[in-house]
A and B are shown apart, each in its own frame.
Chain A
């Protein structure tokens, strides 16, 4: 019964979405104004209903109801509880339901909580959200019904792909997904504001927390995904420029740009058209990512749920929503009034440059990802990898780091160079010192890693400078958020640069009792024994590691796991984390001669990559909490004043650089 009830609820939610779109559109006409008040409650109920449908799907998975096709195909009665839950979204149909759930909930929360926006723009936003949701409701109800029954029911289910049976991965997809789909609300805000010609600071302030929330989830999701790939796949790498990884990075880049431009719009009433544009682009990148992952048009290590038919469905939705929004943008952008002017050498100026560079990186990644597709149309097969992405994106990344260091120290409207130069002298000195140290002691590590270390050191210092001479206790939370997020970027960059500069790797065929050295470590293979886990068996090696001349011994147990259903082998790397890096060991196959393949890596400072990612996310959380609390305190007051230092009182002369 549960599946049938859930399906009925899903249809009801879809019907409410139709109502939300229809009534919302009618309410915006001259005659329909009396219906304006009806749209918010509809959005809330729609969000609730779809959330109930999703909760019921989880119940079906928890009970391992094998008469439901999706459960039978993706679950197994012997699976640990957490993976039974994760099984609900670890497949195409379930993830589509999660998609509409996130969209419905986002719309519901906006309808419930957001009171600052002009009511007409709010209704247009909610109608837009319903319009986008409807495409996915239709996709699900007409071609990928998650509640389809299977008759007769099988005795046992197929199980969940064991690579996905990992705590990191149980929560990586939904986290990323909330971020991806959360950007839909930014898209709907942009469309709503274009329809009612209401692009201004109030719109930006209403949109900002939602963009920030989605961005936090994206940041944490990407960090978790990179960590999962690093230790679960056993390849010893943390980023491969794989199409699917790029698909998650592109919305993040667009959302990061949007986050900064929306602040300019909220504070200074500038960058109007640009912000609307970015909101559309950010969600487009989410949809492009979904399309790339599910259509299978690119070769990827992640290709799952690949089906050309799904591909054409998503491509159609992409054409309707993104094409439609961009056409609306073309029609309405000229009516968006020009924003406040400012000098290029100012806080706004630096944010504009940051935006341009972020969009530049986005373009680089997009081109690299799609290039194989374009050449294939002309009959040539190529694959694009790190030799393209690393140096080409570096052209944009390093200038952006300089702006990241300088921007937060600048005043709004206009600043003068001398004061800034004085402030930046400290980070510049630290960067120069790092350069000297690495060149003297680091050996030949390559240009990019060297620059990475130098810029990371400079940025780390520069990012805390906005706190200089401030009363730390009275510093607003969003300033702390910015400082911590920027510091997180510096920390992650240091980890990335150090990983590629100082990484040492060893692949050996080892006899039992043999010792090997990698970096400062001596590692002895003491034995390999079989062990059994909840739903797997494994061969587990016992490695004893010693650091340098120390006598302290640490045991590492890398495993080669075999799962019974579906029959799959995975590798569980063993990691030993020290303050100065990570030892990474993978157990391979046994050779004919009784020797075992071992892959050993010493990766100095590599955990900084994920600590940095977490810091960036934490910065976002602080900023979101701080701003929301602040907005609640002074409801309705305009915020047209600089967030940090008092600005130069005189308006900028000759500020032609303003973007509309």
Chain B
């Protein structure tokens, strides 16, 4: 056996150790980013979720003005925490459309009555079809859609109060 080859296993192990240590020191990002960013919205035409808000379709996003598309559910606890922040955004003039995931009309109504209703339109996605098409892996998630119906930004998890300026900035960039 060649002399240097004797040390090869130790060198390989050193490499392995480096990979493991880097994985421990900088744990990977476990969030699943959507592959749809930069692409047009998928086709959808959802039924109305509550009587006092119109239904939601892809065509509603091509009006020339950037909007937020918020994926939420009445059964989602972080969505309750997010509600006041969305209300603040709506007060600042942002148009927010909602998709209620795997939900019932009565439950959505109760949720909105309790936590406020920042939405312009709300569609109902009973089998998470649109959620999957958007590349969203959970609730709540919020997408910035520019005036041409193209997804420009995905926010995973609830929007926190201190993230409002960042979201406003993303909306401005989408113009």
Contact = CB atoms under 8 A, between A and B. Distances in A.
A295 B7 CA distance: 28
A323 B17 contact: yes
Q: Which of B3, B26, B27, B30 has the most CB of A within 10 A?
A: B27
Interface of chain A: mostly helix, strand, loop or mixed: helix
Contacts of B9: 277, 280-281, 326, 329-330
A326 B13 contact: yes
Interface stretch (A308-316, A482-490, A603-611): A308-316
Contacts of B33: 381
Contacts of B19: 370, 373-374, 377
Given A326-B9, A327-B10, A315 B3 contact: no
Closest 7 CB pairs of A and B: A297-B23, A326-B10, A376-B28, A333-B6, A330-B7, A660-B1, A373-B23
B59 interface: no
B24 A319 contact: no
Given A281-B9, A323-B10, A330-B6, A311 B24 contact: yes
A177 interface: no
B21 A315 contact: yes
18 contacts: A273-B6, A280-B9, A291-B20, A295-B23, A297-B24, A311-B24, A318-B17, A322-B13, A326-B10, A330-B7, A330-B10, A334-B3, A370-B16, A373-B28, A376-B29, A381-B28, A381-B33, A592-B126
A378 to B, nearest CB: 10
B175 interface: no
A284 interface: yes
A420 interface: no
B110 interface: no
A273 B14 CA distance: 20
B26 A377 contact: yes
Interface string A619-660: 000000000000000000000000000000000000000011
Contact of B27 (A277, A308, A327, A334): A308
B20 A284 contact: no
B101 to A, nearest CB: 15
B24 A312 contact: yes
A299 B30 contact: yes
Contacts of A377: 19, 22-23, 26
Nearest to A370: B19
B13 A297 contact: no
Tell which of A326, A333, A373 has the most Cβ of chain B within 10 Å.
Answer: A326
Nearest to B30: A299
B27 A297 contact: yes
Given A280-B9, A297-B27, 13 more contacts: A288-B16, A291-B20, A298-B23, A308-B24, A319-B17, A323-B10, A326-B9, A326-B10, A373-B19, A374-B19, A377-B19, A381-B28, A381-B29
A315 B20 contact: yes
Interface string B7-47: 10110011011011111101111100100000000000000
A333 B8 CA distance: 12
Contacts of A288: 16
A281 B6 CA distance: 14
Interface residues of A, number: 35
A659 B10 contact: no
A323 B16 CA distance: 11
B23 A334 contact: no
Interface in A148-164: none
Contact of A297 (B1, B16, B28, B29): B28
Interface of B: 1, 3, 6-7, 9-10, 13-14, 16-17, 19-24, 26-30, 33, 126
Contacts of A281: 9
A334 B6 contact: yes
Given A318-B17, A329-B6, A295 B24 contact: yes
Contacts of A312: 24
Nearest to B28: A376
Contacts of B13: 284, 322-323, 326
Contacts of A284: 13
Interface string A316-338: 00110011001101100110000
B1 A333 contact: yes
Nearest to B20: A315
B80 to A, nearest CB: 22
Contacts of B21: 315
Counting chain A CB atoms within 10 Å of each CB, the highest count among B3, B20, B27 belongs to B20
B20 to A, nearest CB: 5
Interface in A280-312: 280-281, 284, 288, 291, 295-299, 308, 311-312
A315 B1 contact: no
A497 to B, nearest CB: 33
Contacts of B1: 273, 333-334, 659-660
Nearest to A331: B6
Nearest to B23: A297
A331 to B, nearest CB: 9
A566 to B, nearest CB: 19
B85 to A, nearest CB: 28
Contacts of A319: 17
Contacts of A370: 16, 19
B30 to A, nearest CB: 7
A550 to B, nearest CB: 38
Nearest to B127: A591
A118 to B, nearest CB: 24
Interface in A373-431: 373-374, 376-377, 381
Nearest to A363: B12
A374 B28 CA distance: 10
A315 B25 CA distance: 12
A552 B56 CA distance: 53
Nearest to B21: A315
A412 B29 CA distance: 54
A586 B22 CA distance: 41
Contacts of A273: 1, 6
Contacts of B10: 323, 326-327, 329-330
Contacts of B20: 291, 295, 297, 315, 318, 373
Interface string A261-278: 000000000000100010
Contacts of B28: 297, 299, 373, 376, 381
Nearest to A314: B20
Contacts of B7: 330
B137 to A, nearest CB: 13
A279 to B, nearest CB: 12
Interface in A499-549: none
A333 B4 CA distance: 11
Contacts of A297: 20, 23-24, 27-28
Nearest to A291: B20
A315 B21 CA distance: 8
A377 B23 CA distance: 7
A376 B33 CA distance: 14
A138 B44 CA distance: 58
A291 B126 CA distance: 41
